[in-house]
Amino acid sequence: MGETFYSDVTYVAVNQDVRESTKTLLWTLKTLPVQKLCLLHVHIPFSLNPSSRLDASEINAIQQSELKTSNVSLEKYRDLCTNKGVINKEDVDISLISGSGVGEGIVKLINQKNIKKLVMGAAADPHYSRGMSITSRKAEYVSRHAPTHCKMWFICKGKLIKTREGSLDLGYPSDSFHTSSQKSNKGNKTNPVKEHFGQEQDDQKSNGSEADCAPKDFVCPISLEIMRDPHVAADGFTYEVKEIRKWINGGNSTSPSTGAKLSHPHLTPNYTLRSLIKDWLQHHPNYKH
């Protein structure tokens, strides 16, 4: 893809798990007048304590596997864009960056590339409800810390949850943030975000660190919760053992991740990942799941 002006590009933040961001991407293609699109993904590499029992080669192998998975997912998103016939493949770019936190990485990129338009998830699709607000810590972080020149749409389950209007100011968010059911009231000087969450809760969340978000590979694709006993299925994906057993014992013969037929029902313990999760939890005692 040739060089384009960033103001002409609509950025869509996507997760590694294609199922989690497909509806957000489809909303973008259907709703916005997209001419150029960039799929944005922040890769969080493993960062282990020196006391970890894994050697450098094992850690490197896991990191390379993660990176490969992210690239494969981004290509699937690109194919989804072109298959819908809304935009040509050469007009879909990919931006894969590494960082210590997803929200922090997105804000950094907005500043670096002077991004004017960004679409991202407001919450995981299962958390959707009418009249909901943003529940994703990543989205909250971006909405509070991104410069005001960037217009943002926050989506859940293919529906618009909130819009933050962009402006010519070079400062940070103030009163330009409103829900899809709210009409912007420029004469109102109160901050709708603080009205909704309350000052005390707002301050607490703004002090939270994105580093406390669990790496995606620690999360079971079925339950969407961090795994305690990860097992590898025939499709090559890792699941919480009780979840994948429930899936198979329920009469399902296909992969819950790809939909392809499973060649066998046998499960293999993923001891390396179990050790990584245990190590990560020990060093993130404030993690809530």
- Which pair of tokens denotes residue 88? 């040509």
Edge-to-edge order in the sheet of strand 230-232 = 238-240, 230-232, 268-269
CA 80 to chain centre: 17
The SS3 assignment for 118 reads: strand
Q: What is the pLDDT of residues 11-20, one digit of tens each?
A: 999 998 898 8
- Which pair of tokens denotes residue 105? 């990485």
Q: State the Rg of the chain over Cα.
A: 20
- Which pair of tokens denotes residue 244? 């994948």
Backbone dihedral region for residue 127 (phi beyond 0: left; psi -120 to 50: alpha; all else: beta): alpha
Percent of all residues in the chain with a pLDDT value above 90, rounded to a whole number = 33
Letter for the amino acid at 88? N
Pairing type for strands 92-98 and 117-121 reads: unpaired
Q: For 198-224, b where at least 16 C-beta lie within 10 A, e where not — what string?
A: eeeebeeeeeeebeebbbbbbbbbbeb
Average pLDDT (157-161) is 94
Q: What is the pLDDT of residues 216-251, one digit of tens each?
A: 888 898 988 899 999 999 888 899 999 999 999 999
Mean pLDDT of the chain: 79
Predicted pLDDT of residue 6: 46
Average pLDDT (133-137) is 90
Total-model pTM: 0.59
Q: Using alpha carbons, select from 139, 136, 164 the residue that is nearest to residue 152.
A: 164
Kindly tell me if the per-residue pLDDT of 2 is higher than 60. Answer: no
DSSP state for residue 67 in the 8-state scheme: H
Residue 38 burial (10 A CB sphere; 0-12, 13-18, 19+): buried
CA distance 55 to 125: 37
The SS3 assignment for 254 reads: strand
Query: Among positive and negative, which fits the CA dihedral 223, 274, 261, 17?
Result: positive
State the residue for tokens 């669990």.
214
Q: Comparing 128 with 189, which gets the higher pLDDT?
A: 128
- Counting Cα atoms < 13 Å in the Cβ hemisphere of 275 gives 13
Helices (H) and strands (E) in the chain, counts: 8, 10
Predicted pLDDT of residue 175: 42
